[in-house]
Amino acid sequence: MTLKAVRTEWESEAAAASLEPLRPGLHLLAVRSLGTADAAEEAVQETLARAVAALARDQLADPTKLPAFVAGIARHVIADMQRARYRLVSLESLPVAAHPSYHPDALKALVLAEERARVRAALLSLSESDRDLLGLCYVDGLAPTKIAERTGEPAERIRKRKSRAVERLREAFHGARAPRHAEARLPTWEARATGGDRP
Q: Give the x-and-dash track for 93-122 against another protein (CB under 8 A).
A: x--xxxxxxx---xx--xx---xx--xx--
> Residue 140 corresponds to which amino acid?
D
Query: Counting Cβ atoms within 10 Å, is residue 139 exposed (0-12), middle (13-18) or buried (19+)?
Result: exposed
Q: Which of 117, 102, 109 is nearest to 43 (CA)?
A: 109
- Of 10-18, 35-43, 53-61, 70-78: span binding another protein (CB under 8 A): 70-78
- Figure out which of the listed residues 7, 75, 157, 160 binds another protein, where binding follows CB under 8 A: 75
Could you give the C-alpha distances from 194 to 22, 121, 176, 198, in angstroms and in order?
17, 39, 31, 7
How many chain residues bind another protein (CB under 8 A)? 69
10 binds another protein (CB under 8 A): no
Tell me how far, at minimum, the Cβ of 180 lies from another protein, in Å: 5
* 8 A C-beta contact, residue 41 and residue 27: yes
- Figure out which of the listed residues 114, 181, 195, 196 binds another protein, where binding follows CB under 8 A: 181
Per-residue burial over 153-183, b = 16 or more CB atoms within 10 Å of its CB, e = otherwise: eeeeebeebbeebbeebeebbeeeeeeeeee
> Residue 167 corresponds to which amino acid?
E
* 8 A C-beta contact, residue 66 and residue 18: yes
37 binds another protein (CB under 8 A): no
92 binds another protein (CB under 8 A): yes
Give whichever of 57 and 185 is closer to another protein, judged by the CB atom: 185
Task: Give the residues lining the site for another protein (CB under 8 A).
Answer: 21-22, 24-26, 28-29, 32, 66-68, 70-72, 74-75, 79, 82-83, 86-93, 96-102, 106-107, 110-111, 115-116, 119-120, 123-124, 128, 131-132, 134-135, 137-144, 166, 169-170, 173, 179-181, 184, 187, 190, 198-199
